[in-house]
Chain A
Amino acid sequence: MEHVPARVALTSEAADLLRRLRAAHGPLMFHQSGGCCDGSSPMCYPDGEFRTGGSDVHLGDLDVEGIEPVAFWMSGSQFEYWKHTHLTVDVVPGRGSGFSVEAPEGVRFLIRSRLFTDAESAALNPTGGG
């Protein structure tokens, strides 16, 4: 079976932050936001705090050494516009808004994107289900 490329990855700085946040908040999840203010940023919550449903797409689970995988979700309507891009969760100094758990630490998760290569696009499940 052909290898299916991951849709989402994370930087080592983001992994370090997730480990620290895991200690304070328990298992974690991401839901990618859209819209104004802090929109277009990934929101990090205690796992299950945000109820995903049939309108959401599970892009994958982020492997973070030392803690359980962190699921990454996005609304299906937004995914239609994002699905041709690979996402990397990074972290930058800042404050954000919304209820994302890292804001009090003086940092903010941020998405960096790249286009999937033709080979990756061909190998990907077109629904992106994970």
Chain B
Amino acid sequence: MTTYAAPGDSGSVMQFKPRYEHFIGGEYVAPVRGRYFENPTPVTGQTFTEVARGTAEDVEAALDAAHGAAPAWGKTSPAERAGILNTMADRIEANLESIAIAESWENGKACRETLAADIPLAIDHLRYFAGAIRAQEGSLSQIDEDTVAYHFYEPLGVVGQIIPWNFPILMAIWKLAPALAAGNAVVLKPAEQTPASIHVLNELVADLLPPGVLNIVNGFGVEAGKPLAANKRIRKIAFTGETTTGRLIMQYASENLIPVTLELGGKSPNIFFDDVAAQQDAFYDKALEGFAMFALNQGEVCTCPSRALIQGGIYDGFLSESVKRVEQIRQGNPLDTDTTMGAQASNDQLEKILSYIDIGRQEGARILTGGERADLGGNLAGGYYMQPTVFEGQNRMRVFQEEIFGPVVSVARFTDYDDAISIGNDTLYGLGAGVWSRDTNTAYRAGRDIQAGRVWVNQYHAYPAHSAFGGYKESGIGRENHKMMLDHYQQTKNMLVSYSPNALGFF
């Protein structure tokens, strides 16, 4: 095991600056109104840096810089842009440990995840879109012997991106990589809970992109996010968050007639068919781990498998062994590599989780393990820790229908295939789902019948680039994490060319 020293302590692999400004036009600049906000770590609840509190004036300055940079950037060759993305990936990889520790300190998540998943995935994502843009081809259609329709991909120009707090770096890269690869200039607003780590990363790569191609304006949603999302000078807005803000952003976008991509969360079912327990083998062990995956990232994942549906024939045994597996989760200092679950990202997030424990109890859901705030004592006493919690109940309860965004799974029983699909699809959302079966026909059919954009079969929570990610139903619009995301950041230019020397004969 390794326990990393906390940023701020001597011996830490990274140190935050005492203050982070906006990154506009290739340099760090102070906010126009001169205000800053404190940034606490959820690990201890203590403030570790302060961050520029952006307003509309800062957003406009960033848009000025982006519009200055976009025309030339949009005409760079795919090879040049891919080269920059690959160099960004190399720099991040060379500093993986320090960036991962910064991310854990900022968000509260266990560093075993940031070291093994968040940052490596971000690196790979940049390389993937570097490759995708090199390989992208336009098309041509021969209309007739003398007429050809050419289809060129062109960048949108300047785009806005609003990043969530659950994967501050990975979600930023998910949005940045396709936008930059496609030749757009970006104004990005990090989440107000987690604004610092993206700057730790940016400082390592800031010299690579031409000034103004990437601009980062920090601040609160109402003060900096709205002036960006509602701005007439963006050609597209991308947002990851929740439904009301998603609708509000669509309303702003409708005023400017620009496209949106939205990723708005889910209430993902994780379905275990009877045959999972046909043998007590490695696969069965994998399925138990699959149940416990709701605790990944403290449950703060849009695709958290927060509804576990278990078939009646194995229900009691599988559930009791799953609960044992959950009870082996090791909570503690997120900078300890043996810790398997860290802190919730903020106090209000913890309070919201506890409010759901309360309504779950009132509705008659039974707590099989957890259900309380975790007091880890010592210097972690001020952090925001929640016990991993397993509820048992039925699907119409609110804890089965609302995204708690915490380490809470609600378990229900199903009788047969149709019952599984019926319960699984009885939700407003359709982002993720898990299907577990040894029978390929059952797994295939269930995977197709579940109304969700991503169905994991005999696994959960894998996020490789080149595998499309996005929602059905109220979970959003668009597909990230795949080359098809390039379409969301490109226009199609059709040049319809006549090679005939002759008049049509109409006039």
Contact = CB atoms under 8 A, between A and B. Distances in A.
A binds B: yes
Interface of A: 31-41, 43, 45, 49-51, 75, 77-78, 81-82, 85, 92-101, 103-104, 108, 110-115
Give the 5 A-B residue pairs with the shortest CB-CB distance, closest first: A94-B348, A36-B265, A39-B242, A35-B265, A33-B244
Interface of B is mostly: mixed
B370 interface: no
**Which residue among A93, A98, A114 has the maximum number of chain B CB atoms within 10 Å of its CB?**
A98
Contact of B428 (A51, A78, A94, A98): A78
B220 A104 contact: yes
A70 to B, nearest CB: 15
B351 A110 contact: yes
A92 B362 CA distance: 21
B343 to A, nearest CB: 14
Contacts of A93: 347-348
A98 B398 contact: no
B208 interface: no
Contacts of A96: 192, 221, 348
Interface string B233-254: 0000000111111111001000
A81 B349 contact: no
Interface stretch (B93-101, B274-282, B315-323, B352-360): B352-360
A104 B263 CA distance: 24
Contacts of A31: 244
Given A75-B243, A81-B401, A110-B355, A35 B474 contact: yes
Contact of A95 (B193, B225, B405): B193
Given A43-B244, A104-B220, A115 B362 contact: yes
A85 B356 CA distance: 12
B223 interface: yes
B245 A33 contact: yes
A115 B360 CA distance: 10
B240 to A, nearest CB: 7
B398 A85 contact: yes
Contacts of B474: 34-35, 77
Nearest to A103: B220
Contacts of A51: 251
Contact of A36 (B53, B302, B356): B302
Nearest to A55: B247
Nearest to B429: A35
Contacts of A100: 221-222
Given A97-B192, A108-B348, A110-B352, A34 B403 contact: yes
A51 B247 CA distance: 9
Contacts of B242: 33-41, 98
Contacts of B266: 35-36
Nearest to B250: A51
B487 interface: no
Interface residues of B, number: 55
Contacts of B247: 50
B265 A37 contact: yes
B428 A40 contact: no
Contact of A97 (B191, B251, B265, B396): B191
A118 to B, nearest CB: 14
A97 B165 CA distance: 8
**Which residue among A32, A51, A75, A94 has the maximum number of chain B CB atoms within 10 Å of its CB?**
A94
Given A93-B347, A99-B225, A110-B348, A36 B241 contact: yes
Given A39-B243, A110-B348, A103 B402 contact: no
Interface string B473-500: 0110000000000000000000000000
B264 A39 contact: yes
Given A35-B242, A36-B403, A114-B359, 7 more contacts: A41-B242, A50-B248, A85-B359, A96-B221, A96-B348, A97-B191, A98-B244
Interface in B344-378: 346-349, 351-352, 355-356, 358-359, 362-363
Contacts of A33: 242-245
A45 B245 CA distance: 11
B166 interface: yes
Nearest to A109: B348
Contact of B166 (A32, A37, A92): A37
A17 to B, nearest CB: 13
Contacts of A95: 192-193, 220, 346, 348
B395 to A, nearest CB: 10
B151 interface: no
B32 to A, nearest CB: 16
A104 B33 CA distance: 14
Nearest to A40: B402
Given A34-B403, A37-B405, A81-B398, A92 B241 contact: no
B477 to A, nearest CB: 13
Given A34-B474, A85-B359, A112-B355, A50 B244 contact: yes
21 contacts: A33-B243, A34-B243, A35-B241, A35-B302, A35-B474, A36-B264, A36-B266, A37-B166, A82-B398, A85-B359, A93-B347, A94-B349, A97-B191, A97-B192, A97-B221, A99-B225, A99-B248, A103-B192, A103-B222, A110-B348, A113-B362
A40 B244 contact: no
A35 B225 CA distance: 19
B363 A115 contact: yes
**Which residue among A32, A39, A50, A114 has the maximum number of chain B CB atoms within 10 Å of its CB?**
A39
Interface in B187-246: 191-193, 220-223, 225-226, 229, 240-246
Contacts of B191: 37, 97
B340 to A, nearest CB: 22
Contact of A37 (B164, B251, B362): B164
B404 interface: yes
B192 A99 contact: no
